[in-house]
Amino acid sequence: MSTNQQPDPRDRPARLTVGVVGAGRVGPALAASLQLAGHRPVAASGISDTSRRRAALMLPDVPLMPPAEVLQRADLVLLTVPDDTLPGLVAGLAETGAVRPGQMLVHTSGRYGARVLDPALRAGALPLALHPAMTFTGTPVDVQRLAGCSFGVTAPEELRLAAEALVIEMGGEPEWIAEEKRPLYHAALALGANHLVTLVAQSMELLREAGVEAPDRMLGPLLGAALDNALRSGDAALTGPVARGDAGTVAAHVAELQRHAPQTVAGYLAMARATADRALAHGLLKPELAEDLLGVLADGTEGSDGPKGRQGTDGTDGTDGTDGTDGTDGNDGNDEDDGNTGSAR
């Protein structure tokens, strides 16, 4: 067995001093990852008590100070603030002379590319957009999750290699995103990650209402398999009453949701329509079954006081006049300092 040991990163000379502006969920985790790669966090800023506690946990012994002072101390500055705050922050730092020539400014917004850092670029900074496609908890587990995490990278061409190198040092996988594609890229991640959390939370609430004692245990294997199938097979993984064209079952669903959880009806109908469209386009939903199904979904928008159809076989009124069935298919909040939840942002 080899006796060679890898040197402790703490024994290597630090290559860059690192500062964090916005000690929310993302910034401290990225700074801690850079520290493991041999860089040295030297300063952070945070407003809320939560962010200050998080910085103390993730970056012990790193002092907290105003943003301008963070920039004075650091060669590499992570701007991990909410998307809507970022343009004003960059402009303010540039106008007050806080930005130094040659300083690397890295923001983690999914929405913006490198152009949002133009005021700092004019002051001589090196602008990088590095967005981790990951949901963050604000705890040390986030550092481990960065291993293999994809980062949306946007930077001037001459800084591309530097940007990708930083991502690799944090354990991530760089994925180049063109400046003009950043909003679309971000919308795609929000559609998948943010909406998934909402759907799962609603599903758990409904299962509790139905008497299930451990909805998380019930959903875990099902959702895990569904996600794996979707990533492997795309639309071919679609299953359930909408993809099958079971209009009666969908009618029963809508009626029950209107009765027990009316706040979920709009989301159910919207996702069912989208599912029906994709199932039709890929030949999974038979056109002759789609008409009744789409009728159910249209009638559902009229709400619980809308017209009802004939009574279904399970005693539930079919909202579109078709027979209902009782069959089932077998199958980064953040504090104000940091609006980033990785793919959620």
Residues 271, 125: Cα–Cα separation, whole Å: 44
Q: Which helix (H) or strand (E) holds 107?
A: strand 104-107
Strand partners of residue 129:
107, 154
Strand partners of residue 78:
20, 106
Q: 3-state class of 297 per DSSP?
A: helix
Ranking 21-30, 163-172, 315-324 by mean pLDDT, the lowest is 315-324
pLDDT at 118 over 60: yes
pTM score, whole prediction? 0.78
Q: Which helix (H) or strand (E) holds 253?
A: helix 247-260
Q: What is the pLDDT of residues 247-303, one digit of tens each?
A: 999 999 999 999 999 999 999 999 999 999 999 999 999 999 999 999 999 987 654
pLDDT at 187 over 50: yes
Close Cβ partners of 120 (under 8 Å, ≥ 6 residues apart): 90, 93, 94, 99, 105, 127
